Structure 1
Amino acid sequence: MKKMNFNTRAYVTQNGQLMIRVRWNSKKNEVAFSVGYTIDPMKWDSTKQLVKANTTHYISGKTVYAREINNAIRTFLGHIEEVFTEYSLHNEIPGNADLKELVNEKLGRNKLKVVEDDNTEKTLKDIFSEFLQLRPKEGCWSLQSQYKYEQMWNQLMGCDSNITLEGLNQSKMLELVNWYIKNDYHNYTITKQFRTLKSFLRWAVRHGYKIQPGVLEFKPNLKMVHRTVTYLKYKELMHFFEYEFPKEKEYLSKARDMFCFMAFTSLRYSDLAKLRTSNILDGYLDFCTEKTDDKLRIALNEHAQKIIDKYAWYKGDTVFPVPSNQKLNDYLKEAAKLAGLDREITQVYFKGNTRHEDTYKFWEQISCHDARRTFVCCSLALGIPPSVVMSCTGHSDYESMKPYIEVADETQKMEMDKWNTHQYKSRIIEKLDKMDSEQLKKLFEYVKEIA
């Protein structure tokens, strides 16, 4: 039997990106499959033939994580090996065309044959394709909403590429849980993906498809801890806002301004990027959110107005020259590091039954969404009522605000303690102002002795 070689190759495209392809070759034959991802060359590990761990990739308007791309690569390689294993039972080797067809079949890539019989039962893939055609129109989905369902489907196929609606029972759901754990997913992520899967299944039920008993009631029995809410405290925010970056780092100043504007107004990145001058009227932001279509009216504080005035020179279609989400997040990490935002944050999480604890500095993980959290936490800590904060953010209920309120309570307690200390500080300063030089000298000597 011929020796089999499996490897992953990255081909450079015309725009300088790397297109990932999985390849089988021998001395005379080669069959290659496009994995469907193009990445930054700096994020490819040529030694491991995988994407570098813990990297993020902005592909066709979507944020894709390294783990997802690497799982796709491993899936391709696994299917190639399966085909060769099946042929080896008969002491044969598949031809190039056979290999390509069989691997694509295992991946669910082969085009469905047109079925003339209307009574033919639809496959789970058929139902999901119908879902992706109809549901976005029913719910006016954004691209990000559709992407999360496609991501869930790819993971389901990774667990069992031959799964059927009839076979999707409680045992299969448990098998899927174990697949996630085996592939190193956080319990929090697993729970979220099961919610997405069940959302699709509820749609299927509404459209007359029958699912197995107990599937919608299935809940992964996973240990969970609340994620630490990451945000800038008021003093940290104002320090970042006023920090002077070197002239050669002007792009960091712009990234900081975009973050601070979101922190002063509660805007998401998607709303900041599309904000127009027509949305600013009489000291208010008046706009409809991109994500939830909420109609919001937010009063501009003086800090937000300063940023608007600073960019009055910009004559584009939007208020600010906003870079892409990925670039802005990258610039923010550099800006926050330079500004010294190095407060340590610890996140505790579980993968299966294994407890993990990661500690990192704030600048290492800062992103655009931290600005919105900063707005909520700082507003509550400053004493602004939750109902007013919710009117700015568009949160529809108290439960969605609860994690922020619990964090803000601790911050507020520290801030309110200033009431207790200010009276003593003011009296001390008043007394010091009345002392002559001899009295001050004696006081200094006394403090020096007890220090």
Structure 2
Amino acid sequence: MKKMNFNTRAYVTKNGQLMIRVRWNSKRNEVAFSVGYTIDPMKWDSTKQLVKANTTHYIGGKTVYAREINNAIRTFLGCIEEVFTEYSLHNEIPGNADLKELVNEKLGRNKPKVVEDDNTEKALKDIFSEFLQLRPQEGGWGDKIHEKYEQMWNQLSSCDPNITLEKLTAPKMQELLQWYVKNDYCNRTIQKQFRILKSFLRWVSRNGYTIQSGVLEFKLNLKVIPRTVTFLKYKELMNFFEYEFPKEKEYLSKARDMFCFMAFTSLRYSDLAKLRRNNIIDGYLDFCTEKTDDRLHIALTEHAQKIIDKYAWYKGDTVFPVPSNQKLNDYLKEAAKLAGLDREITQVYFKGNIRHEDTYKFWEQISCHDARRTFVCCSLALGIPASVVMSATGHSDYESMKPYIEVADETQKMEMDKWNTHQYKSGIIEKLDKMGSEQLKKLFEYVREIA
């Protein structure tokens, strides 16, 4: 077997493109592969030749986590290693073209245009099936992501049951937009579904298929208003935390405790459900998040510790007896209604050009994820720096935390009160400056007596 020396290096080009370069035979041969991601060079770890851990990237209108990009890099490196190993078994050296073709083949990128014997065009459904099979292997996918793409496909095929890649043109995208409007989808949902569709089509393009001109550049001319961020204000949270439920509704007390624990710690439901005793160390939660694999070290507040102590009786594998996500959300609605969480929330949205407003009580819409938003908003309202809040939530930058942030009334009032506080302080200092030594002595004695 011939020993073949080669080296690989991942790097970011000047325009932010992520590449892998392969050199071998005393650097006389070189091939570069594009990994398919555009990242901020500041988020690149040149020592490890990987994206910096726990960073978030915005690529083509969607959020991509460091784990997904690093998995893609490792996949490329693994395929390159396989090609060289296979050639070394026969004491051969791959040529530049051979290496590129074989690596792309292992990655599933060599997808020739398929024309059936009867000259019919290949159905886009076949390509979509390949996508569902191969894309999860490139980056960690959960069931919910799978469901989102399947939902997008069902809507696309409802618009045109005989859709093919060749028929998917810019006019067809406009036709799809009109189909959504006609079927009473709100603009925010339409925007989201088009993002998912374009994500699929970018994968299609990376894998050797031809996308019709103007499809990926197609822009929606829709009025979209961000959703009102729903969360409990500090007083509402504490009232909910201390509310006494009837003994016959003990299940509501447990649901409330689960919500409040998430609100005191920023945990997602997926992390709460899997939290174990060995994740609690010296007053901290120490664990890897289920969604993003971030390693978090969160200080436990007295309120959070009180909930842990309350469930010390539970002897299961996890810290808490957590019901299913759907059941917990159902229980939370009942608990919040009983506890009087009836503040009105108004959501404004557009369907086509028509403006709509829906107003509902908070308890009607409360869910587990409101707890995480509650943690962010209450922490900021209490004056905790955003950097500290981000260290608990796992957000890598301010932009990635923005969807969770809503400036609560209490926050604004506290900040605006600084004008008044400064005015009062100035007046007090001015009066103190005018006092004589005897007056100051009497003031000091008076303050000491009442203290």
Shorter-chain TM-score bucket reads 0.5 to 0.7
Code of the residue aligned with 2:382 in structure 1: it is L
Aligned residue runs from structure 1 range 298-377, under 5 A: 298-377=298-377
In the alignment, the residues of structure 2 paired with residue 417 and residue 317 of structure 1 have an alpha-carbon distance, to the nearest angstrom, of 48
Alpha-carbon offset, residue 285 of structure 1 = 1.0
1:415 Cα offset (Å): 3.4
Q: In structure 1, what is the Cα distance between the partners aligned to 2:121 and 2:319? A: 53
Report the Cα distance in structure 2 between the residues aligned to 1:285 and 1:343, rounded to whole angstroms: 32
In 2, Cα distance between the equivalents of 1:295 and 1:130?
33
Structure 2 contact 255–328 (Cα < 8 Å) conserved: yes
Moved over 6 A (4+): 421-424
Q: Which residue does the alignment assign to 1:194? A: 194
Q: 1:120: Cα distance to partner?
A: 9.1
1:179 Cα offset (Å): 1.0
Q: Aligned runs of 1:129-208 on 2, under 5 Å?
A: 129-208=129-208
Greater mean alpha carbon deviation, residues 412-421 or residues 363-372: 412-421
Counterpart-to-counterpart distance in 1, 2:235 and 2:306? 18
1:39-58 to 2 correspondences below 5 Å: none
1: distance between equivalents of 2:326 and 2:406? 30
Larger RCO (CA under 8 A, 6+ residues apart): 2
Equivalent AA in structure 1 for residue 214 of structure 2: G
Tell me what 1:443 maps to: none
Aligned to 2:297: 297
1-side partners of 2:312 and 2:423: how far apart? 43
CA contact (8 A) 2:263 2:372 kept: yes
Please name the residue that 1:411 is paired with: 410
Shift of 1:289: 1.2
- Aligned pair in 2 of structure 1 residues 238, 421: CA closer, same or farther (>3 Å)? farther
**Secondary structure at the counterpart of residue 296 of structure 2:** strand
Provide the rounded CA distance (Å) in 2 between the counterparts of 1:260 and 1:397: 25
Partner AA of 2:293 in structure 1: D
**CA shift for structure 1 position 411:** 2.9
Aligned partner of 2:233 in structure 1 is 233
Aligned to 1:93: none
TM-superposed deviation, 1:291: 1.4
CA-CA distance at 1:298 after TM superposition: 1.0
Report the counterpart of residue 272 of structure 2 in structure 1: 272
The answer to whether the 8 A contact 2:243-2:339 is kept is yes
- C-alpha change, 1:228 and 1:116, in structure 2 (3 Å) is closer
Cα pair 1:273 1:322 within 8 Å, conserved: yes
| Matched-pair contact (CA < 8 Å) for 2:298–2:392 | yes
Per-residue CA deviation, residues 102-158 of structure 1 (Å, 9 max, x unaligned), is xxxxxxxxxxxxx998x9964211111010001111111111111111111111111
SS in 1 for 2:407: helix
Return closer, same or farther for 1:422/1:250 CA change in 2, 3 Å cut-off: farther
Q: Which string of whole-angstrom CA distances, capped at 9 and with x for unpartnered residues, describes residues 355-413 of structure 1?
A: 000111111111111001000000111111111111111223222323544524x4312
Contact 1:347–1:358 at 8 Å: present in 2 too? yes
Could you say what the CA RMSD is over the residues aligned between the two structures, in angstroms? Answer: 2.4
Local SS of the residue matching 2:218: coil
The verdict on how the C-alpha distance between 1:121 and 1:288 changes in structure 2, with shifts beyond 3 A counting, is farther
**Is the Cα–Cα contact under 8 Å of residues 229 and 407 in structure 1 kept in the other structure?**
no
Asked if the contact 1:187–1:352 (Cα under 8 Å) also holds between the matched residues in 2, the reply is yes
Give the letter for the 1:181 counterpart: V
Question: What's the CA shift for 1:183?
Answer: 1.3
- Cα distance in 1, alignment partners of residues 404 and 165 from structure 2: 40
Contact 2:229 2:406 in 1 (8 A): no
Distance 1:332 1:179 in 2: 36
Question: Alpha-carbon deviations, 1:252-295, whole Å to 9, x = none?
Answer: 00000000001001111111111111211111111111112222
* Gap change, CA 1:300 and 1:346, over 3 Å in 2: same
Alignment of 1:55-94 (within 5 A): none
SS in 2 for 1:297: strand
In 2: Cα distance, 1:396 partner to 1:218 partner: 30
Q: Which blocks of at least 5 consecutive residues in structure 1 are unaligned?
A: 1-114, 425-433, 435-451
Letter of the 1:316 partner, please give it.
G
CA distance in 2, matches of 1:305, 1:417: 33
**Counterpart in 2 of 1:220?**
220
Distance (Å, rounded) in 1 between the aligned partners of 2:304 and 2:423: 32
1:260 aligns with 2:265: no
Alignment-mate amino acid for residue 284 of structure 1: Y
Report the equivalent of 2:251. Answer: 251
- Are 1:231 and 1:374, in contact at CA under 8 Å, matched by a contact in 2? yes
2:210 aligned partner: 210
For residues 166-221 of structure 1, what are the alpha-carbon distances to aligned partners after superposition, in whole Å with 9 as ceiling and x for unaligned? 11111111111111111111111110111111001001111101110111111211
Q: Provide the rounded CA distance (Å) in 2 between the counterparts of 1:286 and 1:256.
A: 23
Q: Distance in 2 between matches of 1:224 and 1:385?
A: 31
Distance 1:258 1:296 in 2: 19
After superposition, the Cα gap between the structure-2 partners of 1:261 and 1:135, relative to the gap in structure 1 and judged at 3 Å, is same
TM-score using structure 1 length: 0.65
Paired position in structure 2 for 1:400: 400
Cα distance in 1, alignment partners of residues 359 and 146 from structure 2: 33
Q: Is the 8 A contact 2:181 2:351 kept in 1?
A: yes
Q: Percent identity?
A: 82
Deviations 1:10-39 (A, max 9, x none): xxxxxxxxxxxxxxxxxxxxxxxxxxxxxx
Distance in 2, Cα, partners of 1:167 & 1:412: 52
Aligned mates of 2:209, 2:260 — CA distance in 1 = 48
Q: Does 1:386 align with 2:386?
A: yes
Structure 2 contact 373–405 (Cα < 8 Å) conserved: no
Is the 1:166–1:212 contact (alpha carbons within 8 Å) kept by the matching residues of 2? yes
The alignment's TM-score, normalised by the length of structure 2, stands at: 0.65
Counterpart Cα distance in 2 of 1:149 and 1:313: 42
